[in-house]
Amino acid sequence: MAQTTPLVLRLAALSVNAANRAGKIIRDVWSQGDLGIVDKGQNDPQTEADRSSQRCIIASLLNQFPNVKIIGEEGSCNVEVPSDWLVTEGDQSILQLNCPKEYQSATDNDVVVWVDPLDGTSEYTQGLLEHVTVLVGIAVRGTAVGGIIHQPYYGHASGAETLGRTLWGIKGIGVGGFTPALPPANQRIIATTRSHSNPLAEQAIAALKADKVLAVGGAGHKVILLMEGKAHAYVFARGGTKRWDTCAPEVVLEAMGGRLTDMRGVQYLYDHDTNHNNTGGVLATAKGEDHEWYIKNIPENVREALKQ
Ligand SMILES: Nc1ncnc2c1ncn2[C@@H]1O[C@H](COP(=O)(O)O)[C@@H](O)[C@H]1OP(=O)(O)O
Ligand SMILES: [Mg+2]
Ligand SMILES: [Mg+2]
Ligand SMILES: [Mg+2]
Protein backbone atom coordinates (compact mmCIF):
# COMPACT_ATOMS: atom_id res chain seq x y z
CA MET A 1 0.00 0.00 0.00
CA ALA A 2 1.40 3.37 -1.00
CA GLN A 3 2.61 5.69 1.79
CA THR A 4 -0.05 8.16 0.62
CA THR A 5 -2.70 6.25 2.60
CA PRO A 6 -3.60 8.64 5.45
CA LEU A 7 -1.86 8.01 8.79
CA VAL A 8 -5.13 7.38 10.68
CA LEU A 9 -6.11 4.58 8.29
CA ARG A 10 -2.62 3.03 8.41
CA LEU A 11 -2.72 3.13 12.22
CA ALA A 12 -6.22 1.63 12.35
CA ALA A 13 -5.33 -1.11 9.85
CA LEU A 14 -2.23 -2.18 11.78
CA SER A 15 -4.12 -1.94 15.08
CA VAL A 16 -6.76 -4.38 13.81
CA ASN A 17 -4.14 -7.03 13.08
CA ALA A 18 -2.10 -6.27 16.21
CA ALA A 19 -5.22 -6.58 18.41
CA ASN A 20 -5.94 -9.94 16.79
CA ARG A 21 -2.42 -11.15 17.49
CA ALA A 22 -2.69 -9.90 21.07
CA GLY A 23 -5.95 -11.84 21.42
CA LYS A 24 -4.10 -15.04 20.61
CA ILE A 25 -1.49 -14.19 23.27
CA ILE A 26 -4.32 -13.74 25.80
CA ARG A 27 -5.74 -17.17 24.92
CA ASP A 28 -2.26 -18.76 25.10
CA VAL A 29 -1.55 -17.33 28.57
CA TRP A 30 -4.91 -18.62 29.79
CA SER A 31 -4.44 -22.13 28.44
CA GLN A 32 -0.88 -22.41 29.72
CA GLY A 33 -2.38 -21.88 33.19
CA ASP A 34 -0.09 -19.50 35.13
CA LEU A 35 -1.67 -16.03 34.97
CA GLY A 36 1.14 -14.28 36.91
CA ILE A 37 -1.29 -11.97 38.73
CA VAL A 38 0.08 -8.72 40.19
CA ASP A 39 -2.13 -6.39 42.26
CA LYS A 40 -1.85 -2.79 41.01
CA GLY A 41 -4.37 -1.49 43.56
CA GLN A 42 -7.72 -2.26 45.07
CA ASN A 43 -9.53 -4.61 42.68
CA ASP A 44 -7.06 -3.70 39.94
CA PRO A 45 -5.24 -6.86 38.87
CA GLN A 46 -2.70 -7.21 36.08
CA THR A 47 -1.76 -10.57 34.53
CA GLU A 48 0.91 -11.89 32.20
CA ALA A 49 -1.73 -11.61 29.47
CA ASP A 50 -2.13 -7.83 30.08
CA ARG A 51 1.65 -7.36 29.99
CA SER A 52 2.32 -9.51 26.92
CA SER A 53 -0.66 -8.20 24.96
CA GLN A 54 0.52 -4.62 25.55
CA ARG A 55 4.09 -5.46 24.46
CA CYS A 56 2.79 -7.06 21.25
CA ILE A 57 0.59 -4.08 20.34
CA ILE A 58 3.01 -1.31 21.29
CA ALA A 59 6.04 -3.02 19.70
CA SER A 60 4.09 -3.52 16.46
CA LEU A 61 2.83 0.08 16.38
CA LEU A 62 6.19 1.67 17.28
CA ASN A 63 7.98 -0.45 14.70
CA GLN A 64 6.02 1.29 11.94
CA PHE A 65 5.11 4.56 13.67
CA PRO A 66 8.12 5.41 15.84
CA ASN A 67 7.04 9.03 16.35
CA VAL A 68 3.41 8.47 17.31
CA LYS A 69 2.51 8.96 20.99
CA ILE A 70 1.10 5.73 22.43
CA ILE A 71 -0.35 5.49 25.94
CA GLY A 72 -0.86 1.96 27.26
CA GLU A 73 -2.59 0.98 30.49
CA GLU A 74 0.36 -1.04 31.73
CA GLY A 75 2.84 1.83 31.44
CA SER A 76 6.28 1.64 29.87
CA CYS A 77 7.14 -1.80 28.55
CA ASN A 78 9.92 -3.75 26.88
CA VAL A 79 9.29 -3.64 23.15
CA GLU A 80 11.93 -6.26 22.32
CA VAL A 81 9.40 -8.98 21.50
CA PRO A 82 9.53 -12.46 19.95
CA SER A 83 9.48 -12.05 16.17
CA ASP A 84 6.10 -13.76 15.88
CA TRP A 85 4.55 -11.05 18.11
CA LEU A 86 5.58 -8.30 15.71
CA VAL A 87 2.69 -7.50 13.37
CA THR A 88 3.85 -5.79 10.20
CA GLU A 89 0.84 -6.00 7.87
CA GLY A 90 -2.24 -3.81 8.17
CA ASP A 91 -5.79 -4.98 7.49
CA GLN A 92 -6.35 -4.50 3.76
CA SER A 93 -10.03 -3.59 3.96
CA ILE A 94 -9.27 -0.69 6.33
CA LEU A 95 -6.41 0.55 4.13
CA GLN A 96 -8.82 0.84 1.23
CA LEU A 97 -11.35 3.07 2.99
CA ASN A 98 -11.85 6.71 2.03
CA CYS A 99 -10.55 8.90 4.83
CA PRO A 100 -12.78 11.83 5.89
CA LYS A 101 -11.04 15.08 5.07
CA GLU A 102 -11.07 16.37 8.69
CA TYR A 103 -8.16 14.10 9.52
CA GLN A 104 -6.84 13.09 6.12
CA SER A 105 -3.68 15.08 6.65
CA ALA A 106 -3.17 14.31 10.37
CA THR A 107 0.52 13.80 11.15
CA ASP A 108 2.45 12.04 13.93
CA ASN A 109 2.17 15.09 16.18
CA ASP A 110 -1.62 15.22 15.90
CA VAL A 111 -2.22 11.63 16.93
CA VAL A 112 -2.41 9.73 20.25
CA VAL A 113 -3.10 5.99 20.46
CA TRP A 114 -4.73 4.70 23.66
CA VAL A 115 -4.14 1.00 24.34
CA ASP A 116 -5.98 -1.18 26.84
CA PRO A 117 -4.27 -4.52 26.17
CA LEU A 118 -6.86 -6.48 28.15
CA ASP A 119 -10.08 -4.91 29.33
CA GLY A 120 -11.98 -6.97 31.89
CA THR A 121 -8.94 -8.33 33.73
CA SER A 122 -10.90 -9.18 36.91
CA GLU A 123 -13.33 -11.23 34.83
CA TYR A 124 -10.45 -12.88 32.92
CA THR A 125 -8.90 -14.07 36.19
CA GLN A 126 -12.31 -15.51 37.15
CA GLY A 127 -12.80 -17.35 33.85
CA LEU A 128 -15.50 -15.02 32.48
CA LEU A 129 -13.67 -15.03 29.19
CA GLU A 130 -16.36 -13.53 26.97
CA HIS A 131 -16.14 -10.27 28.97
CA VAL A 132 -12.55 -9.72 27.81
CA THR A 133 -11.63 -7.30 25.01
CA VAL A 134 -8.50 -5.66 23.60
CA LEU A 135 -9.01 -1.94 22.99
CA VAL A 136 -7.06 0.36 20.68
CA GLY A 137 -8.34 3.94 20.30
CA ILE A 138 -6.92 6.55 17.94
CA ALA A 139 -7.37 10.25 18.70
CA VAL A 140 -6.60 13.20 16.43
CA ARG A 141 -6.06 16.57 18.12
CA GLY A 142 -7.89 15.32 21.21
CA THR A 143 -10.93 13.79 19.50
CA ALA A 144 -11.40 10.02 19.38
CA VAL A 145 -11.74 9.07 15.69
CA GLY A 146 -10.68 5.42 15.34
CA GLY A 147 -11.60 2.46 17.53
CA ILE A 148 -10.75 -1.23 17.50
CA ILE A 149 -12.40 -3.68 19.89
CA HIS A 150 -11.10 -7.24 19.65
CA GLN A 151 -12.96 -9.96 21.53
CA PRO A 152 -10.56 -12.90 21.84
CA TYR A 153 -13.14 -15.33 23.21
CA TYR A 154 -16.05 -14.50 20.93
CA GLY A 155 -17.71 -17.85 20.16
CA HIS A 156 -16.40 -19.52 23.32
CA ALA A 157 -19.83 -20.00 24.94
CA SER A 158 -21.33 -21.52 21.80
CA GLY A 159 -18.36 -23.87 21.33
CA ALA A 160 -17.23 -22.28 18.05
CA GLU A 161 -14.17 -23.84 16.44
CA THR A 162 -12.44 -20.54 15.70
CA LEU A 163 -12.49 -17.99 18.49
CA GLY A 164 -12.39 -14.21 18.31
CA ARG A 165 -13.65 -11.28 16.29
CA THR A 166 -12.68 -7.67 15.77
CA LEU A 167 -15.14 -4.80 15.72
CA TRP A 168 -13.99 -1.44 14.40
CA GLY A 169 -15.33 2.03 13.90
CA ILE A 170 -14.01 5.16 12.24
CA LYS A 171 -15.79 8.47 12.70
CA GLY A 172 -17.12 9.75 9.41
CA ILE A 173 -16.87 6.29 7.80
CA GLY A 174 -18.83 3.75 9.86
CA VAL A 175 -18.30 0.39 11.54
CA GLY A 176 -17.33 -3.16 10.62
CA GLY A 177 -16.77 -6.63 12.04
CA PHE A 178 -20.26 -7.02 13.50
CA THR A 179 -23.91 -6.52 12.64
CA PRO A 180 -25.33 -3.42 14.38
CA ALA A 181 -28.73 -3.96 16.02
CA LEU A 182 -31.14 -1.82 18.05
CA PRO A 183 -32.23 -2.85 21.56
CA PRO A 184 -35.92 -3.79 22.01
CA ALA A 185 -38.41 -0.90 22.12
CA ASN A 186 -40.52 -0.29 25.28
CA GLN A 187 -37.94 -1.71 27.65
CA ARG A 188 -34.93 -0.37 29.52
CA ILE A 189 -32.01 -2.76 29.94
CA ILE A 190 -28.99 -1.21 31.65
CA ALA A 191 -25.50 -2.68 31.61
CA THR A 192 -23.22 -1.83 34.51
CA THR A 193 -20.18 -3.05 36.43
CA ARG A 194 -20.04 -6.37 38.25
CA SER A 195 -16.74 -5.72 40.03
CA HIS A 196 -16.37 -1.97 40.69
CA SER A 197 -19.66 -0.71 42.11
CA ASN A 198 -20.04 1.77 44.98
CA PRO A 199 -22.99 3.59 46.62
CA LEU A 200 -22.97 6.41 44.04
CA ALA A 201 -22.97 3.97 41.12
CA GLU A 202 -25.81 2.02 42.75
CA GLN A 203 -27.84 5.17 43.36
CA ALA A 204 -27.66 6.07 39.66
CA ILE A 205 -28.77 2.62 38.54
CA ALA A 206 -31.70 2.64 41.00
CA ALA A 207 -32.87 6.06 39.79
CA LEU A 208 -33.09 4.89 36.17
CA LYS A 209 -35.72 2.23 37.00
CA ALA A 210 -34.49 -0.39 34.58
CA ASP A 211 -36.54 -3.42 33.58
CA LYS A 212 -33.33 -5.38 33.78
CA VAL A 213 -29.77 -4.68 34.99
CA LEU A 214 -26.92 -6.63 33.42
CA ALA A 215 -23.92 -6.60 35.77
CA VAL A 216 -21.06 -7.58 33.47
CA GLY A 217 -17.34 -6.91 33.18
CA GLY A 218 -15.35 -4.66 30.86
CA ALA A 219 -15.98 -1.32 29.18
CA GLY A 220 -15.48 -2.86 25.72
CA HIS A 221 -17.87 -5.72 26.48
CA LYS A 222 -20.62 -3.41 27.77
CA VAL A 223 -20.42 -1.20 24.70
CA ILE A 224 -20.70 -4.31 22.49
CA LEU A 225 -23.97 -5.12 24.30
CA LEU A 226 -25.31 -1.69 23.26
CA MET A 227 -24.15 -2.11 19.67
CA GLU A 228 -25.74 -5.54 19.28
CA GLY A 229 -29.12 -4.57 20.74
CA LYS A 230 -28.72 -6.39 24.10
CA ALA A 231 -28.86 -3.27 26.29
CA HIS A 232 -30.08 0.33 26.00
CA ALA A 233 -27.47 2.04 28.19
CA TYR A 234 -24.16 1.50 29.98
CA VAL A 235 -24.15 3.40 33.26
CA PHE A 236 -21.07 3.67 35.52
CA ALA A 237 -21.57 6.60 37.89
CA ARG A 238 -18.14 6.75 39.47
CA GLY A 239 -14.53 7.27 38.56
CA GLY A 240 -12.34 4.22 37.91
CA THR A 241 -12.27 3.80 34.16
CA LYS A 242 -9.46 5.51 32.29
CA ARG A 243 -9.12 7.05 28.81
CA TRP A 244 -7.88 3.72 27.37
CA ASP A 245 -11.16 2.11 28.51
CA THR A 246 -13.39 4.57 26.66
CA CYS A 247 -11.46 5.80 23.59
CA ALA A 248 -12.08 2.81 21.28
CA PRO A 249 -15.59 2.01 22.62
CA GLU A 250 -16.66 5.66 22.20
CA VAL A 251 -15.66 5.68 18.54
CA VAL A 252 -17.25 2.38 17.52
CA LEU A 253 -20.50 3.17 19.39
CA GLU A 254 -20.74 6.72 18.03
CA ALA A 255 -19.84 5.64 14.48
CA MET A 256 -23.02 3.52 14.53
CA GLY A 257 -25.16 6.29 16.02
CA GLY A 258 -24.86 5.87 19.81
CA ARG A 259 -23.18 8.17 22.34
CA LEU A 260 -20.59 7.92 25.11
CA THR A 261 -20.00 10.79 27.54
CA ASP A 262 -19.47 11.41 31.23
CA MET A 263 -22.55 11.45 33.54
CA ARG A 264 -23.19 15.12 32.70
CA GLY A 265 -23.13 14.62 28.94
CA VAL A 266 -19.64 16.02 28.44
CA GLN A 267 -17.44 14.25 25.91
CA TYR A 268 -14.01 13.03 27.03
CA LEU A 269 -10.90 14.42 25.35
CA TYR A 270 -7.95 12.24 24.42
CA ASP A 271 -4.93 14.56 24.11
CA HIS A 272 -1.63 13.08 25.31
CA ASP A 273 -1.50 15.36 28.35
CA THR A 274 -5.12 14.92 29.45
CA ASN A 275 -6.03 13.45 32.84
CA HIS A 276 -6.12 9.66 32.35
CA ASN A 277 -8.96 9.18 34.83
CA ASN A 278 -12.55 9.30 33.63
CA THR A 279 -13.57 11.15 36.78
CA GLY A 280 -16.98 12.06 35.34
CA GLY A 281 -18.08 8.42 35.06
CA VAL A 282 -19.37 6.72 31.92
CA LEU A 283 -22.79 7.10 30.34
CA ALA A 284 -23.19 5.35 26.99
CA THR A 285 -26.44 4.91 25.11
CA ALA A 286 -27.39 2.77 22.14
CA LYS A 287 -28.45 4.17 18.78
CA GLY A 288 -32.01 5.47 19.03
CA GLU A 289 -31.87 6.12 22.80
CA ASP A 290 -32.44 9.58 24.28
CA HIS A 291 -29.07 10.28 25.93
CA GLU A 292 -30.44 13.44 27.55
CA TRP A 293 -33.19 11.46 29.28
CA TYR A 294 -30.56 9.44 31.14
CA ILE A 295 -28.64 12.58 32.15
CA LYS A 296 -31.83 14.23 33.44
CA ASN A 297 -32.77 11.17 35.45
CA ILE A 298 -29.36 10.72 37.11
CA PRO A 299 -29.78 12.25 40.60
CA GLU A 300 -28.37 15.77 40.92
CA ASN A 301 -26.02 14.78 43.77
CA VAL A 302 -24.50 12.05 41.58
CA ARG A 303 -23.91 14.44 38.68
CA GLU A 304 -22.46 17.02 41.10
CA ALA A 305 -20.05 14.46 42.55
CA LEU A 306 -18.80 13.39 39.13
CA LYS A 307 -17.23 16.41 37.52
CA GLN A 308 -14.37 15.95 35.06
N1 LIG B 1 -11.75 1.14 40.21
C2 LIG B 1 -11.13 0.68 39.11
N3 LIG B 1 -9.79 0.43 39.14
C4 LIG B 1 -9.17 -0.02 38.03
N5 LIG B 1 -9.77 -0.24 36.85
C6 LIG B 1 -11.08 0.00 36.77
C7 LIG B 1 -11.83 0.45 37.89
N8 LIG B 1 -13.11 0.58 37.52
C9 LIG B 1 -13.15 0.22 36.21
N10 LIG B 1 -11.94 -0.12 35.77
C11 LIG B 1 -11.57 -0.51 34.40
O12 LIG B 1 -12.71 -0.33 33.60
C13 LIG B 1 -13.19 -1.58 33.11
C14 LIG B 1 -14.69 -1.57 33.16
O15 LIG B 1 -15.10 -1.58 34.51
P16 LIG B 1 -16.19 -2.60 35.04
O17 LIG B 1 -15.89 -3.94 34.44
O18 LIG B 1 -16.09 -2.53 36.51
O19 LIG B 1 -17.47 -2.03 34.50
C20 LIG B 1 -12.55 -2.61 34.00
O21 LIG B 1 -12.47 -3.85 33.33
C22 LIG B 1 -11.21 -1.99 34.28
O23 LIG B 1 -10.37 -2.11 33.12
P24 LIG B 1 -9.18 -3.22 33.07
O25 LIG B 1 -9.82 -4.55 33.23
O26 LIG B 1 -8.62 -2.97 31.70
O27 LIG B 1 -8.22 -2.86 34.16
MG1 LIG C 1 -6.38 -2.99 34.45
MG1 LIG D 1 -9.86 -1.53 30.86
MG1 LIG E 1 -6.80 -3.41 30.88
pLDDT in tens, 14-26: 999 999 999 999 9
Q: What is the pLDDT of residues 102-141, one digit of tens each?
A: 999 999 999 999 999 999 999 999 999 999 999 999 999 9
Q: Are residues 57 and 94 in the same domain?
A: yes
For residue 160, what are the domain limits? 7-176
Residue ranges around ligand 1 (CB below 6 Å): 44, 73, 116, 119-121, 193, 195-196, 217-219, 236, 240-241, 245
Question: Which residue from 119, 130, 243 has its CB within 8 A of the most atoms of ligand 1, so it is best to mutate?
Answer: 119
Q: Is 119 annotated as a binding residue?
A: yes
Q: Are residues 203 and 74 in the same domain?
A: no
pLDDT score recorded for residue 3: 60
Q: Are residues 212 and 170 in the same domain?
A: no
Cα–Cα distances in angstroms (integers) from residue 24 to residues 21, 33, 37, 171, 293, in the given order? 5, 14, 19, 27, 40
pLDDT score recorded for residue 32: 97
Q: Are residues 155 and 17 in the same domain?
A: yes
Contacts of 2 (CB under 8 A, 6+ apart): none
Q: Are residues 79 and 117 in the same domain?
A: yes
Closest C-alpha to ligand 1, atom 11: 241
CATH of residue 101's domain is 3.30.540.10
Question: Which residue from 37, 44, 202 has its CB within 8 A of the most atoms of ligand 1, so it is best to mutate?
Answer: 44
- Edge to edge, what strands does the sheet with 233-236 contain? 212-215, 189-192, 233-236, 282-285, 259-261
Q: What is the pLDDT of residues 227-271, one digit of tens each?
A: 999 999 999 999 999 999 999 999 999 999 999 999 999 999 999
Please indicate, yes or no, if residue 182 is contained in any of the structural domains.
no
Count structural domains, the chain.
2
**Integer Cα distance of 254 and 175 in angstroms:** 9
Closest C-alpha to ligand 1, atom 21: 120
Q: What is the pLDDT of residues 168-211, one digit of tens each?
A: 999 999 999 999 999 999 999 999 999 999 999 999 999 999 99
Q: Are residues 130 and 259 in the same domain?
A: no
